[in-house]
A = this chain, B = another copy of it.
Amino acid sequence: MPGTVRHGESVEVAIIGGGIVGIVLAVGLLRQNVKVRVFEQAQGFREIGAGIAFTANAIRCMEQIDPAIVTALRLSGSVATSNGDEKEPNDYLRWIDGYNQHREDDPYYQRMLYKIDAGYRGFEGCRRDQFLEALVKVVPPEVIECRKRVQRIEERSLEEKITLTFVDGTRAQTDAVIGCDGIKSRVREIILGEGNPASYPHYTHKVAYRTLIPMEDAIKALGDYKAKNQHNHVGPNAHLIHYPVANKNMINATAFVSDPNEWPEEKQMVAPGSREDIESAFAGWSPCVRNVVSLFPEKLDKWAVFDLWDYPAPFYNRGKICLAGDAAHASSPHHGAGACVGIEDALCLSTLLRQVNTSVQENGISKGKALRAAFETFNAVRRTRSQWLVNSSRRACDFYHQPEWADPAKWVKAETCFEELKDRSYKIWHFDYNGMIKETIKGYAEREADLV
């Protein structure tokens, strides 16, 4: 009978969305002998966004999921940010006074406020499109179907197959669905409900402007040391962050500006902008910052930063449908760790689906019950940390944009933020993923025991 579930065989999972988290998860599930299909709405794999960085911890998570992922990352031309400089072998995050304390005798002077040691090869950066291209090659081509935009998901009962209906009118059946379909997730909208504010991302009241600057020009603007090393220039209502890319031939510079207004169009997060916008936001800042701003193109895109902070999802699964990565917890980019937390999700789910296969193939538990127990475990294990990240990234940006940076009587208070930024960074970088794996296995085993 079509649509009924036969026991004893591997479960089959549909992953909605072929972004980095979706493909990493597919690799992980395949390694656990889970049947996987990935449905991607686009015609092919063209990721937006120039660069992406992974923490050393996230790379260790990839290694746990499947060492082939790390190989793909390295083959895609990823580079350790650590430069092997004898004096500073490690990666650091650096915050520098972008606004105050100009010195007429030394216009390049900016006070270093704080730096945090991320360890040797603490970060590894790559181009998103190149990494995704290398990742896709790790999975058999028949696993991925493009031009499949999901429209409806029907889960009639626990022991029946789920039916996916795509915008093109075609259908597919599967045991379980994992939505890795990013910040504008359709799967989220389906399980939380149309019209529910938690189903949609909201404006963080920050806009971002990005550009690449040749190193030669960056050195003229900032001085040699600052141009060649990551720096985050903080000040009232804005910050400018830059780091070297492309084998140190360029710097990637991003200016974030606070915006008290509403974003006019919820569907479209990019609007035309101009250098003048940034110039006025950084007027009166250090000459170094203004030099960098003058190197942005006259006309450029203005990116609205959206996230899921205002209305966090009350749950990450409904029955055998689950959310992971940005679909579950899209964050603003201020910790640079959104994708890393998605990789942790993929590790958790790979662990769980291995357990599900054992339950189904060896312990005689039904697919439906096993899958629901797995996704409930995922929700219990992952929701707190991943929503914490969304909060924390907002908090970090609030610190960078403190109005107090403009008031000398408030500098001491403003600088007290760094202890907290250090703690928050460590919580991200030093995540105990082995502890998470243990908690996952234990949580699933407890739920499984109730099923037997």
Residues of A participating in the B interface, judged by any CB pair closer than 8 Å: 197-198, 309-314, 384-385, 387-388, 391-392, 409-410, 412-413, 416, 419-420, 423, 427
Whole-angstrom distance from the CB of A420 to the nearest CB of chain B?
A: 7
Which of A310, A387, A412 has most chain B Cβ within 10 Å?
A412
Instruction: List, in ascending order, chain B residues with CB within 8 A of A420's CB.
Output: 388, 391-392
Q: Contact at B416–A312, with CB atoms within 8 Å? A: yes
Do B423 and A427 touch (CB < 8 A)?
yes
Nearest-neighbour CB distance to chain B for A428, whole angstroms, equals: 12
List residues of chain B with CB within 8 A of the CB of A384: 416, 419
6 residue pairs bridging A and B, Cβ less than 8 Å apart = A309-B413, A312-B413, A313-B412, A387-B419, A388-B419, A423-B427
**Chain B residue with the shortest CB-CB distance to A313:** B412
Residues of B within 8 A of A198 (CB): 412
The residue on B at minimum CB distance from A395 is B420
Nearest CB on B from A93, distance (A):
17
Residues of B within 8 A of A413 (CB): 309-312
In the complex, A423→B422 CA distance in Å?
13
Bound-state CA distance A412–B385 (Å) is: 14
Q: How far is the CA of A344 from the CA of B314 in the complex (A)?
A: 40
Taking A311-B413, A312-B412, A312-B416 as known contacts, 14 extra A-B pairs with beta carbons closer than 8 A to each other, sorted by chain A number, are: A197-B409, A198-B412, A309-B413, A310-B413, A311-B410, A311-B412, A312-B413, A314-B412, A384-B416, A384-B419, A385-B419, A387-B416, A387-B419, A423-B427
In the bound assembly, the distance between CA atoms of A391 and B387 in angstroms comes to: 22
Residue of B nearest to A418 (CB): B384
Nearest CB of B to A390, in Å? 8
A117 → B minimal CB distance (Å): 16
What residues on B are CB-neighbors of A392 within 8 Å? 420
